[in-house]
Amino acid sequence: MSTFPVLIVVSVITLLFLFKLVRNHKRDHSTKKNYPNGSMGFLPVIGESLSFIRAQKANRGQQWVEERVAKYGPIFKTSLMGGTTVFITGHAGAKFVLGAETEVLAPRQPVTIAAIMGKHNLFEVSGTKRYKPLRRAMMSFLKPDSLQGHIKRMDVMVNRHIDMATKGIETITTISFMKKLTFHVACQILFGITDDATEQALYEEFGHCFEAMWSAPFNFPGTTFRKGIRARERIVKKMLPIMEKRKEQIKKGTLNPMDDVLSCMLSLETEAAENGDQEEPITQHEVIDNFVAMMIASHDSSASVLTWVIWKLAKDREIYDNVVKEQMSIIYERKQRQQQGGADERLSWGDVAKMKYTWRVVQEVMRVIPPFFGSFRTAIKDTSYGGYDIPKGWQFDPSRFDNKLNTIPPYSYLPFGAGHHTCIGLEFSRVEALTVLHHLVTKFEWSLVNPDEKITRLALPYPEMGLPINLVPKNSC
């Protein structure tokens, strides 16, 4: 495994036209602002993107940064994904970015991600008046009190999916298995999509979208970015009639709007329009964009994390045994309650709350192999850091860093963000991961087909060959 990633804060501004590049270049040299040192690469728009992507695919992102830190210092500029970029290394940099108010620094994304997720998604509207109503709509479903009512349904769904996907199978490719499982859970629990054909079609389209988000921003026929744009268009076309049907069901009272987050957003759109609320109602564009953003955020990252937990449990027998011990004790206690007439056979919120050791294992895996290189930020106002000026419009991307102390200080453990920017899906991701691991470790033992498999990063960290594993059912042990 590679050494742990340094903490990086990255800023990106999308440069849409070549004349804008020239204008900004002249402006920077005509003022007395103290911008960071660095290289913008040799080609407009492309900059150092290709070398950065190559480093990521080889899991050498940290080395790529360290080489530039050695040359330019701990704060340096470059050009990535069509935009001016600033890297700030160190724990203090993360605190500066993640601790800042959204009036100064707000989440923003590079052009490729924004084009796929849509300009109305929650990340893009942070710091605007639309952020609070959209976040409130989504949190009405994602808050712990609401999620408690969906634990048993998730448990049944995960258990059934695992049984069907592993029946008669001795070897599975973990990342593919986890992607399909987490997408299935997201479709049904988060968005109420229960039709198998619709789910499969969306799964394929979202695969194109994810690839496009971290591609070169060239919207030409045959490019990865163009394929992603077209896939998004097909997703919207497929979802619009589903949304219209949901709104009619909500109006008639035949659908509970709290059944899923999509229906929840649609109900607030309908209620605001009917009641004439002063607050601007949630629009169809906002619902669509946040559906796309949440679907991407809720399954790809979870699949990556779960894959690396499976890897770790195969590598470390002691940790595997401790996780199994905790999960089997939960099954035993539930059976005891059943005999006393006080519980059913499904997982409960209380059961999940007892999975403390298992969750610590997941957290440690995310610390060692962070799921994301970072999340983007834009300077809403001119600001400065470390003696350098950071103009309005530049964006930041705080990455992860390893703290070798036993306690982890604020703004140093960041898989779910921090401060004002904590991920709204944290609780859902926790419950999903623990439910999946509960069933896997109580049903199977497994071994790695390729024990020395390397990491490649295509935005998220993936095993180079998908992490194939040999499964052994527990009743055969």
* Binding annotation: 423
Long-range contacts (CB closer than 8 Å, 24 or more residues apart) made by 313-320: 313/361, 313/441, 313/446, 314/446, 314/447, 314/448, 314/469, 315/448, 315/451, 319/361, 320/441, 320/445
List, as residue ranges, the binding site for heme: 423
Q: What angle is formed at CA 414 by the lines to CA 409 and CA 416, rounded to 5 degrees?
A: 130
Contact call for residues 262 and 190 (beta carbons, < 8 A): yes
Q: What are phi and psi of 453, to 5 degrees?
A: -60, 135
